[in-house]
Amino acid sequence: MPRPIKATIDLGALQHNLHQVRRHAGSSAVLAVIKADAYGHGALRVAHALAAADGFALLELDAAARLRESGYKQRIVLLEGVFEVADLHVADNLGLALVIHNHQQLRLLDFARTGTQFDVFLKINTGMNRLGFTPHAAGRVLDQLKAHRAVRQLVLMAHFASADEARGVAWQMKVFNDVAAGRNLPISLANSAALLRYPETCGDWVRPGIVLYGCSPFADVSADQLGLKPVMTLTSEIIAVQELAAGARIGYGGVFEAEHAMRVGIVACGYADGYPRHAPTGTPTLVGGRRTRTLGRVAMDMLCVDLSGFPEVSVGTPVTLWGQGLSADEVAFCAGTVSYELLCALSPRVPVREI
Ligand SMILES: *Cc1c(COP(=O)(O)O)cnc(C)c1O
């Protein structure tokens, strides 16, 4: 029998979440963001379930190649563009749309083969200050791209820094609108948070990621409240039960000490499976469908859970680490991170099952 840990990917939930996205996006086209192996869910699997999306966005050329090999004809956007001439030719062969965010990438376009044309997403830095041309430089770059032999469609793009927070998007929208004014170009701005909270950002192409996977982009609103369904559920089983005497410690460093005699379950799941090592004592888990908490340090292959008041639990009892019944958002919050990181960290050693 294999080790009992597995990730279950709910394809129906993916489709449900796409439907929710469409409700918010109105007539905007949907670029499903499937970078990082679709946030750990498997890019091809997710593309298959989301074949009704208008396009896909990712950063990895090899994943884009696999999508094309599998017959996907939709627009595929490379979110960080290309890094060298060789990649430009690969992108050409695959028919990919390119983000262009700096002058080096602009110059790379000059190496495009004769007759080749790319759809280009020109990225404007509206205040996030990671990628993109300054509003000051944007006008000239736009003129250059419009006249460039290797450019077919031009889309204006920006990314929000605080769409999930009180700071909002208005300050970035103002910068963007000044650049876009009078240009009459298609635009792409909204990530998940902006899509849900600021419909005025939806434009021509929305770029949802995390909501498709059924997690909330907001700290103060749950995925459930947003009508989203979790896609990945990480489950395992109790593989040992220990009876601790008062004063006994458990796991590496002995960081958890039993105040009184208690039962503890050992779960076959650790940081090598993708569970966050920094999740402290008290992080929620479901054992046999009931909520309890982790104890002590998460190890490479195992973690410990409190079985006080769980007399029925024994070796083989199922455990849910996150997903159905326990949101990844909540577990991530306890571990001081966000659901994105948990989902992306799912280890290749964990078998995946689709439902
Ligand atoms: C990752 C990414 C997104 C999706 O963000 P979510 O918060 O997951 O919706 C959108 N746009 C760009 C440029 C990205 O890199």
Task: Please pick, among 123, 229, 252, 275, the residue that the annotation labels catalytic.
Answer: 252
Task: Answer yes or no: is the C-beta of 297 below 6 A from any ligand 1 atom.
Answer: no
Both 150 and 255 in a single domain?
no
The whole-chain average pLDDT of the chain stands at 96
Whether residue 218 is contained in a domain is answered as no
How many other C-beta atoms lie within 10 A of the C-beta of residue 230? 24
Task: Answer yes or no: is the C-beta of 274 below 6 A from any ligand 1 atom.
Answer: no
Whether residue 227 is contained in a domain is answered as no
Task: Please pick, among 6, 35, 123, 146, the residue that the annotation labels catalytic.
Answer: 35
- List pLDDT tens digits, range 6-35: 999 999 999 999 999 999 999 999 999 999
Distance CA 31, CA 56 (A): 5
Task: Answer yes or no: is the C-beta of 214 below 6 A from any ligand 1 atom.
Answer: no
Q: Which of 79, 229, 226, 221 is nearest to 164 (CA)?
A: 221
- List pLDDT tens digits, range 78-114: 999 999 999 999 999 999 999 999 999 999 999 999 9
Both 270 and 205 in a single domain?
no
How many whole angstroms from 63 Cα to the centroid of ligand 1? 17
Pocket probe mutation, ligand 1, options 207, 213, 226, max atoms within 8 Å of Cβ: 207
* Residues with Cβ within 8 Å of residue 74, at least 6 apart in sequence: 53, 54, 55, 56
Q: Pick the atom of ligand 1 nearest to 159's CA.
A: 13
pLDDT at 298: 97
- List pLDDT tens digits, range 164-217: 998 998 989 999 999 999 999 999 999 999 999 999 999 999 999 999 999 999
Both 184 and 151 in a single domain?
yes
Band (pLDDT 50/70/90 cuts) for residue 66 is very high
Enter the pTM of the model: 0.96
Pocket probe mutation, ligand 1, options 56, 191, 196, 201, max atoms within 8 Å of Cβ: 191
Res 2 pLDDT > 90? no
- List pLDDT tens digits, range 143-154: 999 999 999 999
Task: Answer yes or no: is the C-beta of 197 below 6 A from any ligand 1 atom.
Answer: no
Both 142 and 73 in a single domain?
yes
Task: Note if 198 is an active site residue.
Answer: no
Residue environment code for 236-274, b if the CB has 16+ CB neighbours within 10 A, otherwise e: bbbbeeeebeeeeebbeeeebebeeebbbbbbbbbbebb
pLDDT at 270: 98
Res 281 pLDDT > 90? yes
How many whole angstroms from 191 Cα to the centroid of ligand 1? 5
- List pLDDT tens digits, range 39-51: 999 999 999 999 9
Res 294 pLDDT > 90? yes
Q: Domain of residue 261: give its range.
A: 232-354
Task: Compute φ and ψ for 43, nearest 5 degrees.
Answer: -60, -45
Both 185 and 239 in a single domain?
no
Task: Note if 252 is an active site residue.
Answer: yes
How many whole angstroms from 80 Cα to the centroid of ligand 1? 11
Both 236 and 287 in a single domain?
yes
Band (pLDDT 50/70/90 cuts) for residue 64 is very high
- Which of 151, 179, 213 terminates a domain? The answer is 213
CATH no. for residue 268?
Answer: 2.40.37.10
pLDDT at 1: 79
Single-letter amino acid code for the residue at 196: L
Res 328 pLDDT > 90? yes
Whether residue 330 is contained in a domain is answered as yes
Domain total of the chain: 2
pLDDT at 208: 98
CATH no. for residue 115?
Answer: 3.20.20.10
Pairing of strands 303-306, 262-267: antiparallel
Strand ranges (DSSP E) for the chain? 6-9, 29-33, 55-58, 75-78, 97-100, 118-123, 151-157, 187-188, 205-206, 232-244, 249-250, 256-257, 262-267, 284-287, 290-295, 303-306, 318-322, 352-354
